[in-house]
Structure 1
């Protein structure tokens, strides 16, 4: 299965269903099932951001120390890769080449500068327990035989 390594707290936000778009500087033609891997590093400053802190707290996470790292947390279906064509940062709204508007917490959970890409995910399935795995750059193959 393809996998993507994502820094915390964003990997957990995806696993919890709070984040449906993963933003990247590069596009992909890949569509299909993808494993969500939490990298080893945690952006502690981002964990103090009001919107992120509230979203995590809804699920009982009150400290960055509770975020798993170095493990696959969930699987999802990668359904589309959108190019960001407009970023109205002052309003917290971005628009894609396919006419999708991204706003609210979703906007604040990503980096939607024009020229970047929003990978749209759905059907997120949290694993019963995080599965330790070493992450990699770009898309990589995860051996999920233990599922």
Structure 2
């Protein structure tokens, strides 16, 4: 299975279904199953800022109990959408042939890096694992052998 390592708290926000898009500077053609790996790093300062603090707390998490160095969820990488910010409105679109725009706001906007020219990976069918599985992560997309 393909996997991606994501710094905490973002990996847990995906696992909890609170973050639907992973923003990246690069486009990915791959579509299909994807494991979410929580890296060893926790952005502790960010975990104390809103809306991160309250969303994590709603699920019983703080910077002190986030899983690290482990697979925390599986999902489907279903789309890779280009980010466009126009007149202060952040939208996603699939390309020239797709004229459907998805507007991003609220917590989702706070949970990603939505600058022009970046990409939003749409993550669907997210399943948080009942127990995280220790694994060594890597940069980029990598193969995880369950």
TM-score normalised per structure 2: 0.92
Report the CA distance between 1:128 and its aligned residue. Answer: 1.6
After TM superposition, the structure 1 = structure 2 runs for residues 95-110 of structure 1, keeping only pairs within 5 Å, are 95-98=91-94, 99-110=101-112
The ranges of structure 1 where at least 4 consecutive aligned residues each deviate by more than 3 angstroms after the TM superposition are none
Q: Deviations over 1:12-54 (max 9, x none)?
A: 0000010000001111001011000000000111101110111
Name the Cα RMSD after superposition.
Answer: 1.2
2:4: which partner in 1?
4
Shift of 1:97: 2.5
CA-CA distance at 1:77 after TM superposition: 0.7
TM-score under structure 1 length normalisation: 0.91
Q: Which runs of 5+ in 2 are unaligned?
A: 95-100
* Residues 42/84 of structure 1: CA separation in 2 closer, same or farther (3 Å cut): same
Q: Number of paired residues?
A: 140
The alpha carbon displacement at 1:126 in A equals: 1.1
